[in-house]
């Protein structure tokens, strides 16, 4: 017990904190739900007690938690030098982010995975191809929603974003497919901080079962594509591209391809669906924001020569207030407690030592809810973004991560959200029927959901 509570540090002193109980550390305290958009009490209380940098133990791993802007900025710039990208054990296992298939690999493997994702979901692809397709998908989805008496937004938004992304990646036909893989994917987030105990009845066991089914389905898909190389069977999607590269990129095994697609799929839809769900709650509670958002998009329609034409890239770039709304939703809607890195060597920060091998949690949510940076931080105030300095934003606003590991889907998510808002306020009207409770455990959730009724505009 003494050794557990007083871990060794051979070079300097550890930050203050508590390691909790043997094996489980302080994990249980982190999993206690908090019914607020505010910083989870586990982190907030320890910042008040120990300062912005402290030590703890989560799911059996020693962790240094940092809510210090300068320390966080430094850590994120050390990728490939003194730190490496890291996922906690259960999450790594479920997405295959370990061993040969680990997406955190440096060098050529990371460059390839990032490049292939950007080529299909990055800025140029959005501008040249994806924007009208997203608008078409959103319009079709909202028409479907309008045929129902009630829609639970989180589930429906997850399905919309997931199905569109899967179509770009491997031509997934969600309307005719018997494999509703989105439902299995939505279970994964609940395993983010679970103990990797593969015992019947545990959350991890159920998640692992779903994961195995998805992996098998995707492996079968890869094998089928490889066995049918004829041009007429090719879809021109990301999967075809990767299979074509297998001859030149030797690390591209079938296992690697499957787990890379799993990671990209997961990254693509969770943030977007959470933010869209939160938007319905906050827009219903702040009609002045909805009014200005609607006015901006109606002005776009009035300035068109053809009212029925598709959304253009110039129109998207003109959505100033929409971007402010999106940023404010992203600031308040952190889905995870932080960004994880692992120290490759001893690191000196603020007079303390982060020992080699320890996990570092960069608490981006603490920065985005800091009252010294964002006045009245729990208020939903999109107008605050008019006057914020770009340097302050760069160090205190990182909804898509930071450093060289910033999420390649950042532009994709922003375009998807802006397009959704455009279609929603110009072609439809909606009312919130019930729900709106938000909790963190520490992942953000919506209790019984947010339920809305959608109808087309006359």
- Are the C-beta atoms of 413 and 330 separated by less than 8 Å? no
Question: If we measure between CA atoms, which residue out of 284, 266, 378 comes closest to residue 331?
Answer: 378
Q: Check whether 191 is labelled as a binding-site residue.
A: no
CA dihedral 88, 93, 94, 95 (to 10 degrees): 90
Per-position DSSP letters for 269-282, written without gaps between them: HHHHHHHHHHHHHH
Other beta carbons within 10 angstroms of residue 84's beta carbon come to: 18
Question: If we measure between CA atoms, which residue out of 178, 153, 180 comes closest to residue 166?
Answer: 180
Distances (CA, A) of 93 to 187, 218, 314: 14, 17, 42
Burial 225-240 (b: 16+ CB within 10 A, else e): beeeeeeeebeebbbe
Beta strands in 344-427 (DSSP E): 347-349, 352-354, 359-362
Binding residues for heme: 407
Binding residues: 407
């Amino acid at each position: 017990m003494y050794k557990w509570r007083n871990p060794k540090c051979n070079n300097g002193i550890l930050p203050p904190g508590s390691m909790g109980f043997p094996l489980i550390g302080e994990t249980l305290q982190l999993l206690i739900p908090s019914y607020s958009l505010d910083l989870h009490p586990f982190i907030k209380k320890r910042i008040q007690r120990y300062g912005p940098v402290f030590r703890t133990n989560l799911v059996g791993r020693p962790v240094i938690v940092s809510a210090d802007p300068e320390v966080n900025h430094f850590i994120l710039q050390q990728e490939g030098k003194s730190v490496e990208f890291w996922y906690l054990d259960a999450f790594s296992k479920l997405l295959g982010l370990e061993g040969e298939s680990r997406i955190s690999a440096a060098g050529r493997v990371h460059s390839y995975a990032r490049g292939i994702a950007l080529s299909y979901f990055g800025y140029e692809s959005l501008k040249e191809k994806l924007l009208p397709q997203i608008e078409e998908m959103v319009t079709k989805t909202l028409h479907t929603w309008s045929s129902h008496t009630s829609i639970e937004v989180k589930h429906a938004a997850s399905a919309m974003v997931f199905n569109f992304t899967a179509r770009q990646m491997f031509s997934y036909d969600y309307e005719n497919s018997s494999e509703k893989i989105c439902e299995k994917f939505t279970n994964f987030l609940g395993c983010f901080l679970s103990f990797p105990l593969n015992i019947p009845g545990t959350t991890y066991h159920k998640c692992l079962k779903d994961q195995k089914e998805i992996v098998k389905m995707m492996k079968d898909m890869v094998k089928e594509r490889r066995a049918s190389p004829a041009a007429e069977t090719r879809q021109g999607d990301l999967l075809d591209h990767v299979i074509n590269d297998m001859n030149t990129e030797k690390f591209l095994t079938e296992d690697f391809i499957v787990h890379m697609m799993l990671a990209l799929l997961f990254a693509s839809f969770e943030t977007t669906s959470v933010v869209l769900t939160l938007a319905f709650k906050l827009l219903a509670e702040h009609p002045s924001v909805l009014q200005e958002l609607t006015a901006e998009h109606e002005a776009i329609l009035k300035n068109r020569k053809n009212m029925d034409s598709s959304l253009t890239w110039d129109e998207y770039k003109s959505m100033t207030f929409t971007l402010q709304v999106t940023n404010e939703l992203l600031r308040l809607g952190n889905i995870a407690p932080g960004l994880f890195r692992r120290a490759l060597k001893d690191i000196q920060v603020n007079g303390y030592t982060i020992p080699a091998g320890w996990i570092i949690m960069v608490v981006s949510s603490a920065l985005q809810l800091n009252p010294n940076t964002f006045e009245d931080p729990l208020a939903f105030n999109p107008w605050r973004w008019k006057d914020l300095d770009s340097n302050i934003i760069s160090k205190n606003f990182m909804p898509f991560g930071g450093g060289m590991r910033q999420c390649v889907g950042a532009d994709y998510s922003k375009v998807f959200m802006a397009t959704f808002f455009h279609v929603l306020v110009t072609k439809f009207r909606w009312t919130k029927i019930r729900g709106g409770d938000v909790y963190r455990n520490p992942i953000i959730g919506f209790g019984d959901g947010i339920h809305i009724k959608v109808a087309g505009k006359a």
